[in-house]
Structure 1
Amino acid sequence: MGYYIGIDVGSVTTKLALIEKQGKMVWDTYMRTEGGPIETIQKSFLQLSREMGDLDQEIKGIGTTGSGRHLAAVMVGADIVKNEITAHAAAAKHVDPQVRTVIDIGGQDSKIIFIKNGVSTGFNMNSICAAGTGSFLDHQAGRLGIPIEEFGAYALKSYSPVKISGRCGVFAESDLIHKQQMGYKKEDLIAGLCIALVGNYLSNVARGKRIEPAVLFQGGVAANLGIKAAFEQRLGIPITVPRHHNVMGAWGAALLAKQCHERTGYASAFRGIKPIASFSCVPKTFSCSDCSNHCEINELYIGESLASRWGSRCNKWSDLERSSKNYREERDFPLQGFRRQVSS
């Protein structure tokens, strides 16, 4: 048949999607990164291998996105690497060709994408405020003793939401604690928090721009029924949460890999499902002292081979097969945790 894989490595979660040649989702997984993107990527491919079998010969393309997209690309042999905006927009347009606005709230960032006639016309992202993101809501749910899966449902039980300051995450949490100590019910506190965070999003992310239907709500926070209801109440228009809202970035990366393969016809550089799940992958770093920039050079070793190197402002370290004798002698040293001197 031919399949395509998309990987979205975020700061909080890692998503993997498998689609068929028509773009339909065949399989997906969603895991918490927990500070270990390499291990989480490998766990995702191990799960894919166990549940879908050996598909290596049928994988025609693979794409990566997210904050860890470059690391993931080297690990898996990606054919295309795209930013989150492009990937989320691609998935949204596939789900609903009439989409005009995409609201995406992930683990640590929020963004809005504007689309007209199937073409992305602009986007905004949150700046320094993470209020309303998944990690913020996780923290508040834990502090209130409520499973995050039930957080939104609590909000829908409220008949008298408490007014919460939503100017930023620090003020929202402080105000929530103050109102909690005054004895308000949890459902009223949570409903008030959802309303405040939606207001924060509209002022700091949407920044007053008109939100036109059809509107898709994507990202992990889209599962929060309270946030969805608050958006609908504030905007006065229906908000659609796609079935695969939490893996839309990975889906978009797979769709973009599909487009790349169909356009170029090139064979994929994909390393294989089982090899990715089992090989040794070790990042290392050192500081180059050849000039005053003191660039931090990052390396990724797969097995015992240097797979990629990046980080220099010049091209001095771009050659993976650098022939410097000093470098060959020092490359087996433990590179992390100290400054390494390398002569030119």
Structure 2
Amino acid sequence: MRYYLGIDVGSVTTKLTVIDENAELLFRSYLRTEGGPIQAIQNSFRQLHESIGEPPIAGVGTTGSGRRLAGIMVGADVIKNEITAHAVAARHYRNDVRTVIDIGGQDSKIIFFRDGVPVGFNMNTVCAAGTGSFLDHQAVRLGIPIEEFGDYAIRSQSPIKIAGRCGVFAESDLIHKQQMGYKKEDLIAGLCIALVGNYLANVARGRKIEPVVLFQGGVAANAGIRAAFHKRLGLDIVVPENFQVMGAFGAALLAKRNAERRRTATNFRGAAQIAGFTCQPRTFSCTDCPNNCEVNEFYIGGDLVSRWGSRCGKWYNLSVSSSERSEEREAPLQAN
């Protein structure tokens, strides 16, 4: 039996999954990134190693906003954007899916399907209203555990109207209504309704939402948001069993597809090694031309393993250090 690993590194959470040859989920990890993606990735692999040891991994895929960093750290075979990963996961879960609503920690996405094929997508632009971080902030401000946020909304008998066209207005209006003495459940229910309206206006942008509708991402755990979508759309909202890790699951499916097509050995470094080595990113500015490119370097155990950021590509050679490059540039001038 061969196994495939997927990693989804987001701004708020880091997810890791392992699937077998039948695409059955064997392991999942869901951790807060807390501003430290390197530590979150290593902690995920510590959990993996403690849980199932060193499974024979045949392919690794990464996705999310930190997919490049994760890919370098673990030795990924496939690095894909989150739209692709979530679409593949949704299609695997329901081959009749027509719409995917995905709301994560910092961004919101919608993916449209026709005959099992993704035909379009939208993402939120500048407004983060309705995302996980926004809801976390409101839960803290109201003194309610985020796990209970949706339950409060469900208990409401008279939701309050909240201005939800942007996160700033929503919070301001929520505070104003709170100071008027409305109950927390009515405030939260009103907020959920407003945020769903914001999503449909700013993310879906007026496009028709057709069933089957899958709701993915961490916010799918919020019963209040689910109920608001159901009421607004008049459609059943299907939440996959592993809705929190669908991006990582999709990355694992992509790694499996890649391994079966290419039949090449994986670049995976190994769970124990990843959990234990030291990592350090560095950066410097190249002044060889007016572009002044910011060149990024990544070191594992003191060894330079990746470099990127120069427009001309000359810094892709890992054997050339910054000081060596300066000497090469100055040598002709000295000779003249």
| TM-score scaled by length of structure 1 | 0.94
Q: How does 1:241-320 map to 2 (within 5 A)?
A: 241-320=239-318
Q: How far apart, CA to CA, are the structure 2 residues paired with 1:183 and 1:60?
A: 58
Secondary structure at the counterpart of residue 49 of structure 1: helix
Per-residue CA deviation, residues 267-297 of structure 1 (Å, 9 max, x unaligned), is 1010011000001111001111111111111
User: What one-letter code is carried by the residue in structure 2 that aligns with 1:320?
Assistant: L
Secondary structure at the counterpart of residue 312 of structure 2: coil
> Does residue 51 of the first structure (1) align with residue 47 of the second (2)?
no
Task: Provide closer, same or farther for how the CA distance between residues 322 and 139 of structure 1 changes in structure 2, counting only shifts above 3 A.
Answer: same
Q: How far apart, CA to CA, are the structure 2 residues paired with 1:343 and 1:135?
A: 50
Which of 145, 149, 174 is the equivalent residue of 2:172? 174
Is contact 1:298-1:309 (8 Å) kept? yes
Match of 2:116 in 1: 118
Per-residue CA deviation, residues 81-105 of structure 1 (Å, 9 max, x unaligned), is 0000000000001111111100000
Q: How far apart, CA to CA, are the structure 1 residues paired with 2:239 and 2:323?
A: 57
CA-CA distance at 1:115 after TM superposition? 0.9
Match of 1:12 in 2: 12
CA-CA distance at 1:123 after TM superposition? 0.1
Is contact 2:54-2:270 (8 Å) kept? no
Return 145-154 or 46-55, whichever deviates more.
46-55
Match of 1:88 in 2: 86
Is contact 1:16-1:247 (8 Å) kept? yes
| TM-score scaled by length of structure 2 | 0.96
Which structure shows the bigger proportion of residues in helix conformation?
Answer: 2
CA-CA distance at 1:54 after TM superposition? 2.1
Q: How does 1:159-198 map to 2 (within 5 A)?
A: 159-198=157-196
> Does residue 40 of the first structure (1) align with residue 68 of the second (2)?
no
Q: How far apart, CA to CA, are the structure 2 residues paired with 1:189 and 1:320?
A: 56
Match of 2:27 in 1: 27
Task: Provide closer, same or farther for how the CA distance between residues 324 and 282 of structure 1 changes in structure 2, counting only shifts above 3 A.
Answer: closer
CA-CA distance at 1:326 after TM superposition? 2.9
Residue-pair matches, total:
330
Task: Provide closer, same or farther for how the CA distance between residues 174 and 343 of structure 1 changes in structure 2, counting only shifts above 3 A.
Answer: farther
Match of 1:333 in 2: none
Q: How far apart, CA to CA, are the structure 2 residues paired with 1:325 and 1:240?
A: 56
Q: How does 1:76-155 map to 2 (within 5 A)?
A: 76-155=74-153
Q: What 5-or-longer segments of structure 2 have no aligned partner?
A: 332-336
CA-CA distance at 1:321 after TM superposition? 1.3
Q: What 5-or-longer segments of structure 1 have no aligned partner?
A: 330-341
Identity among equivalent pairs (%): 68
CA-CA distance at 1:163 after TM superposition? 0.1
Q: How does 1:230-245 map to 2 (within 5 A)?
A: 230-245=228-243
